[in-house]
Structure 1
Amino acid sequence: MMTGDHVKASRSSHHDEVPLSPAARFFQAPRFNVYIIAIVGCKTRINTDVVNAGLEKTLVKHPRFSSKMVVDGNKYCKNKKWTQTKVNLEDHIIVPELDPNIEFPDRFVEDYVSNVTRTPLDLSKPLWELHLLNIKTSDAEAVGVFRIHHSMGDGASLISLLLACTRKTSDPEALPSVPVKKGAGSTFNSAAGFWWFFSAIWLFLRLIWNTMVDVLLFVATTLFLKDMKTPIKGAPGVELNVKKFVHRTVSFDDIKLVKNAMNMTVNDVVTGITQAGLSRYLNRRYSEEKKLDGQVKQSNSNIPKGIRLRTVILVNLRKSAGIQVAAAIIRRALSNITMAISGVVGAQEEISFYGHPIDYLAPTIYGFPMSLVVHYQSYANKMTISLSVDPSVIPDPHELCNDIEESLKLIRHAVVNKGFVKDVV
């Protein structure tokens, strides 16, 4: 969250140059040019002047959003730094003139966002921009589209920063509240302590074993272990293809109902419905391929046995002097994996973006060497599922959204039907 201390720090270091962090250099490495796209659906038309005034007072004062990247050195040794600069909002806020009677507004917005990603951001300016689209879609009165280079921060920190530009709709002076993980209790007795000691040893040994297995699998994936070719596996160079971005909003209460009934976490549930949705989608795609090949035999499952389809979440753990070597290694590993899943916790109540009530927030990324990225974003009592896909590999991403949504409905129904929890109307 942005605070007064952050603002003071940015003013005092106005002329300072800050070296790129290892993570920032990672996302600036060749063939790993990753961007964050955050689509904001508003319940009212967007007043451009009000948004500009709000950005001047908040986002523009943040050191990273008012810094550009400079490159020093020669072709053998390049040193990249953030340096403070004067921000001209006209260079960052794009407001196209739109026909209010566009026939298919949802498709127009999807195509607009895809076209935005065809052009890289200008390195002579801070690496972010905001497109304001005053066009009514099926789920919003207007749409804002943030594009931010991933080198400016990780997804969670950037979404938190954007949330700092919002206020509770019920209280225009209050920042949004985000769930905080509760710590475990401190109850202790000698008997419990005895078993806790052996449990801790067992967990430690399992951690060592799992770490060794993970390291071996990562090395194998980097060298030779590839996922099978499937209808959702991209070919080499997929990161260079123009992506399509779609989203679907489901009930967060349904996800929490399943979580509580099965004694799981939200991450467990969204991973489960993603897996179930992908199974439905792949089963249909394989069935269609069999029909094209003249194999009309009906089967409950058309997915090949022993399929290897993996997903990944990247986390930067520590600084590394040799990050450009690390980027090449990780990029090679990611190229052998099918997809990625990520998620960010959002505000617990309805919020407004400079006075514009928000209906949904749908962030995702592009630039990974994968044809599919699934992102989950919670907001009040909603969960938005965002897909970033290569349309040459996944030509029907809305169908995949349908499959994930239907999987949640089926799992919720099964939980209620088996009596794990009472249905909530």
Structure 2
Amino acid sequence: MDTIPSLNTLRSIKTTKNIGETFEGFKKGDDLDQPLSPMARLFHEPGSNVYIIGIMGLKTKIRPNVFKENLVHTFLKNRRFSSLQVMDKETGSMKWIPTHVNIDDHVIVPKLDPNINSPDKFVEDFISNLSRSHIDNIKPLWDLHILDIKTSEAEGTCVFRFHHSLGDGVSLMNLLLACTRKVSDPEALPTLPGNNKLGVAKVASLWSTLGVIWNSFLALLMFVWTALFLEDTRTPMKGSKGVEHRARRFVVRSVSLDDIKMVKRAMNVSLNDVVLGITQAGFYRYLQGRYSNENADIPDNMRFRATFFFNLRPTTRIDDFTDTDSVGTWGNKIGYSLLPFKICFKKDPLDYVVDANTTMKHRKASLEPLFTYLFTKLLMILFGIKVVGKVNHKVFFNTTLWFSNVPGPQEEITFFGHKVAYIAPSCYGQPNALMIHVVSYMDKVTFIISADEETIPDPHKLCNDLEESLRDIKASAQNRIVK
């Protein structure tokens, strides 16, 4: 398979100190240079140079001119989307430099044959080809590709691409949702489920406080060991060296939210526990098939971990997308936990959910996401960006996958007046062969697979296995209710 070009190809751009002489419209003499935050700068390091993809299926024909007009009044009001990221050759530091944006340079509308064979595969191939490239740093690091072709799920597809230095998945999802409105109330923003900080333990006594501190210390120790030497078991889902430079395949599969809620009620667990249980069951089913094809057995007691991302912001409400200085709104404010998956046969499919619930209870009694975030910042202060980039790469490569979920709108929405059929965020450029991203929207939960095809040549099979696992878990839960 062809490899994508190196994503770490930022080159220096000549600018002047007098911004007024360089960018028309700024007051002469203004010093508008703003340094990139250390976390944003980190995403330009090899192995951490990640792009976020936002796939949005629409129920109506796309009007590109409407998109362009609205993007000028939304995205471009945010300085991150109207500034260059300029590297200083001497210091290696980077700054946001305001620039004039030609919206046509960022909104790409390829001419497509409406009678093309297999539109679904064409759209999938198009998005996969995007992961072979990067955005040239002579313009702000985002773009939008409008595919005006009908698929089985939508009348047209929009593919947003953002460099991760612009913000994390939560802030970028916030940006997109701030451009949407409820179908039932065209003046109202959508609502998101939940309003609490994720990944922060709640303690009620001295004993529980000590337990949280101990769990957090052990988690941080595991983080250090993983950065030094502790690698997951080599399986058909574990990526090889250089995986971050290879193209990805993005596959989207939606399941019923009501089915997941039914299991949640039957087991008295969280929706997230059910989703993790489905994922573990699906992984076992998939690996069983891969090992059977090789006439081998699944290894016992394999080490199989996910880098599980947590939002560290105070709330999940939709904020003003134009305010890049709003506390907690922008930037990369995410921590992560190294989440062990138990890949083994369970006679009762509900036991996968039980295992997920037990694992998550342990993680919730810990400050691991906050500790990893603060520890990364401390390493950055002590040793610099280059060292942290290498540490992050080693941790991510030594685990098997990335896992993330983001709550989506609870009601049907429009995006710039177009009804939305589905929302599917994902990433490429990460040093893992697999990422599972889960997002809820209306009555659906969507699994988005980002897979290195050299490692996982059949991501549709993995989606089928996830769907079959939900059916088995749902059937077992129904039997429990009847009894």
* Normalised TM-score (structure 2): 0.76
Partner of 1:257: 262
CA distance in 1, matches of 2:242, 2:413: 39
CA contact (8 A) 2:266 2:480 kept: no
Give the match's secondary structure for 1:254: helix
Partner of 1:67: 83
Structure 2 unpaired stretches of 5+: 1-25, 310-333, 336-372
Partner deviation per Cα, 1:372-402 (whole Å, 9 max, x = no partner): 0000011111111000000111111011011
CA RMSD in angstroms comes to 2.1
Please report how far the alpha carbon of residue 324 of structure 1 lies from its aligned counterpart in structure 2 after TM superposition. Answer: 2.9
Partner deviation per Cα, 1:263-303 (whole Å, 9 max, x = no partner): 2222212111111100100011111110xxxx7xxxxxx42
Match of 1:306 among 285, 301, 305: 301
Code of the aligned partner of 2:190: P
Partner deviation per Cα, 1:115-160 (whole Å, 9 max, x = no partner): 1122210111111000000111111111000000011001011001
Partner of 1:191: none
Match of 1:30 among 46, 50, 56: 46
Give the match's secondary structure for 2:205: helix
Partner of 1:404: 466
CA distance in 2, matches of 1:260, 1:201: 32
CA contact (8 A) 2:266 2:481 kept: no
2:252 is aligned with 1:247? yes
2:62 is aligned with 1:46? yes
Please report how far the alpha carbon of residue 368 of structure 1 lies from its aligned counterpart in structure 2 after TM superposition. Answer: 0.8
CA 1:147 to 1:303, structure 2 compared with 1: closer, same or farther past 3 Å? same
Give the match's secondary structure for 2:145: strand
CA distance in 1, matches of 2:33, 2:447: 38
2:225 is aligned with 1:211? no
2:409 is aligned with 1:355? no
Counterparts of 1:142-157 in structure 2, within 5 Å, are 142-157=156-171
Code of the aligned partner of 1:47: R
2:105 is aligned with 1:105? no
Counterparts of 1:130-149 in structure 2, within 5 Å, are 130-149=144-163
CA distance in 2, matches of 1:67, 1:106: 35
CA contact (8 A) 1:261 1:420 kept: no
Give % identity. 50
CA distance in 2, matches of 1:182, 1:160: 16
CA 1:312 to 1:420, structure 2 compared with 1: closer, same or farther past 3 Å? farther
Partner deviation per Cα, 1:347-372 (whole Å, 9 max, x = no partner): 11010111110000000011110000
Please report how far the alpha carbon of residue 15 of structure 1 lies from its aligned counterpart in structure 2 after TM superposition. Answer: 6.1
Give the match's secondary structure for 2:192: coil
CA distance in 2, matches of 1:408, 1:23: 37
Partner deviation per Cα, 1:390-419 (whole Å, 9 max, x = no partner): 011111101101111111122122112101
Partner of 1:233: 238
CA contact (8 A) 1:15 1:83 kept: no
Give the match's secondary structure for 1:137: coil
Structure 1 unpaired stretches of 5+: 1-10, 184-195, 296-301
Give the match's secondary structure for 1:78: coil
Give the match's secondary structure for 1:392: coil
2:104 is aligned with 1:90? yes
Counterparts of 1:279-358 in structure 2, within 5 Å, are 279-290=284-295, 302-314=297-309, 315-316=334-335, 317-318=373-374, 319=377, 320-321=380-381, 322-358=384-420
Count, aligned residues: 386
Counterparts of 1:377-388 in structure 2, within 5 Å, are 377-388=439-450
Partner of 2:437: 375
Code of the aligned partner of 1:371: A
Please report how far the alpha carbon of residue 182 of structure 1 lies from its aligned counterpart in structure 2 after TM superposition. Answer: 6.7
Give the match's secondary structure for 2:93: strand
